[in-house]
Amino acid sequence: MKKPEIGHHISQRYNEELEDVRNKVLYMGGLVEQQLADAVQALTTMDSALAEVVITNDYKVNRLEVEIDDECIHILARRQPAAGDLRLLMAIIKTITDLERIGDEAERVGRMALRFIEGESTKDTKPLLGIGYFGDHVRRNLHDALDAFARMDVQAATQIAKEDLKIDQEYEGILRQLMTYMMEDPRSIPRVIGVMWSARALERIGDRARNICEYVIYLVGGKDVRHTSLEQVEEDVRGSNRSEKDK
Amino acid sequence: MKKPEIGHHISQRYNEELEDVRNKVLYMGGLVEQQLADAVQALTTMDSALAEVVITNDYKVNRLEVEIDDECIHILARRQPAAGDLRLLMAIIKTITDLERIGDEAERVGRMALRFIEGESTKDTKPLLGIGYFGDHVRRNLHDALDAFARMDVQAATQIAKEDLKIDQEYEGILRQLMTYMMEDPRSIPRVIGVMWSARALERIGDRARNICEYVIYLVGGKDVRHTSLEQVEEDVRGSNRSEKDK
């Protein structure tokens, strides 16, 4: 399968612009990943200072989204890109929307952490038990999705998108556990609900990592896989790799 | 304030293409609004047949997103649009992503409705009390946002975006009420949690209606208001209208 290459334009300036926008997306991805890691750590270690850092830093993510959007419009208007670059730019425009929303979810987890820490004098951290591992799983999946984006690796993207199913199952398990806590001790309900929202936020981040994978497949394969089964995509990728070898 | 006009191109075919893609967005908006109305009605009247209809119809929303995306890429590649049209197309690409996700949230409410109806033999509908009114408020706001999009009315869009604050407040009220139910009767927890997810889905739909308003402001005003206060935007719009009159 042919990968779209960036450094193939006659205009050196155009190459640089595309490379620059791509690097900014990767930088934004790294920032969002850090925000997610910090938010989960703030919640599980009840570190309110770290939670404050996450909440404060969200503006950096927002600023990057606006900046990259502007650069994309600029390139679209000045360079009138052909099909391959157009797909890259579409994927970037969609990816940064998801990254910005992941940033919002991380901020939400930060706020829940603050509420959890301040909320009660009892230091019952039992509801947090599953969250650390779950958050780590979601963060690793986001990292892998961004990695597939950086390498434009459609095969990896397909695998990572499938990982989201496991995240959904883990999430269901955590929900059941949290409901049990609440039923056993109704006074804990307000506190546990906050943990539940955090778990939900993490599950949504998993969905968005999956979105990014789908843009990679869409971008590289030129094939729209949104709303089709990943098994089908995998088969298609395998088929296309085979025919590539046959050449 | 100058509105971007669609029918101003020398190529009649190009005008038709832009008009066609815009009409499809409005059609998609109407469909999503109907899905939302049906989902809320299914939940509040415990109508499982209607919930099934919502769940089944989501594929139509998904199909429209892919179709419109393709048309936008086609126009970008063939017509190499200038700044104004480019902003319109960017707004469309972003709006349909939000519409598709609103469709997903409506489907989620439909699933929660099914679970709520099937879940228990006791017909305690108390937790549903606030949801009908809240859902109607969210639906009206989405309708107004789509209307502002259709008319490209930046002033209306600013007003509607502000309405989201009220939706957020209503949502907080519903949450508190639901938590009280749970604490009073812990056996109701699994059932009430489903209603809580539905309320959350509706609140998120409010956020997305606000996103659509922001794209209108961005598109028409050529001004990026994401992540800035709406009061500032309102002031800017007023100022700009004044200077328009002064001319």
User: What gap in Å lies between CA B63 and CA A149, rounded to an integer?
Assistant: 25
pLDDT surpassing 70 at residue B100: yes
CB-based contact B148:B157 (threshold 8 Å) = yes
Contact B179 A189 (CB under 8 A): yes
B105 contacts in chain A (CB < 8 Å): none
A70 contacts in chain B (CB < 8 Å): 224
The ipTM value here is 0.78
Task: Nearest chain A residue to B61 by CA: give it.
Answer: A227
Confidence category of residue B78, pLDDT binned at 50, 70, 90: confident
B90 contacts in chain A (CB < 8 Å): 69, 73, 93
Q: What is the CB-side half-sphere exposure of residue B52 using CA atoms within 13 A?
A: 5
Contact B66 A187 (CB under 8 A): no
The string of DSSP codes covering B137-161 is HHHHHHHHHHHHHHHT-HHHHHHHH
A227 contacts in chain B (CB < 8 Å): 59, 62-63, 66
Confidence category of residue A7, pLDDT binned at 50, 70, 90: low
Give, in order, the Cα–Cα distances in Å from B104 to each of A69, A122, A169, B109, B115. Answer: 25, 38, 19, 9, 17
Task: Nearest chain A residue to B97 by CA: give it.
Answer: A94
Confidence category of residue B2, pLDDT binned at 50, 70, 90: very low
Chain B positions with Cβ closer than 8 Å to A? 59, 62-63, 65-66, 69-70, 73, 76-77, 80, 82-83, 86-87, 90, 93-94, 97, 175, 179, 182-183, 186-187, 189-190, 193, 196, 200, 224, 226-227
Question: Which of A80, A182, A226 comes nearest B186 by C-beta?
Answer: A182
pLDDT surpassing 50 at residue A2: no
Contact A183 B186 (CB under 8 A): yes
Chain A nearest-CA distance from B147, in A, is: 23
Contact A77 B86 (CB under 8 A): yes
Question: Which of A86, A94, A189 comes nearest B76 by C-beta?
Answer: A86
User: Which of A229, A178, A213, A227 has its CA nearest to residue A199?
Assistant: A178
Contact B83 A77 (CB under 8 A): yes
CB-based contact B183:B145 (threshold 8 Å) = no
Quick one: pLDDT at residue B13? 86
Chain A nearest-CA distance from B83, in A, is: 6
Quick one: pLDDT at residue A246? 45
- Residue to mutate among A72, A227, A229, with most B CBs inside 10 A, is A227
User: Which of A203, A230, A186, A75 has its CA nearest to residue A139?
Assistant: A203
At B11-32, the pLDDT tens digits run: 788 889 989 999 999 999 999 9
A102 contacts in chain B (CB < 8 Å): none
B77 contacts in chain A (CB < 8 Å): 82-83, 86
Chain B nearest-CA distance from A246, in A, is: 31
Chain A nearest-CA distance from B246, in A, is: 31
For residue B27, what are its two tokens? 């059609």
Chain A nearest-CA distance from B82, in A, is: 6
Confidence category of residue A122, pLDDT binned at 50, 70, 90: low
Quick one: pLDDT at residue A83? 76
At B197-214, the pLDDT tens digits run: 999 999 999 999 999 999
At B54-75, the pLDDT tens digits run: 999 999 999 999 899 889 988 9
Contact B182 A190 (CB under 8 A): no
Average pLDDT over residues B115-135: 81
Question: Which of A94, A187, A200 comes nearest B97 by C-beta?
Answer: A94
* Domains of chain A, CATH where assigned: 12-241 (1.20.58.220)
User: What gap in Å lies between CA A163 and CA B15, rounded to an integer?
Assistant: 44
Quick one: pLDDT at residue A111? 95
User: What gap in Å lies between CA B81 and CA B132, rounded to an integer?
Assistant: 44
Give, in order, the Cα–Cα distances in Å from A23 to each of A9, A170, A234. Answer: 17, 33, 28
Contact A87 B73 (CB under 8 A): yes
- Tell me, what DSSP letter sits at residue A226? T
Question: Which of B59, B90, B190 comes nearest A179 by C-beta?
Answer: B190
Confidence category of residue A26, pLDDT binned at 50, 70, 90: very high
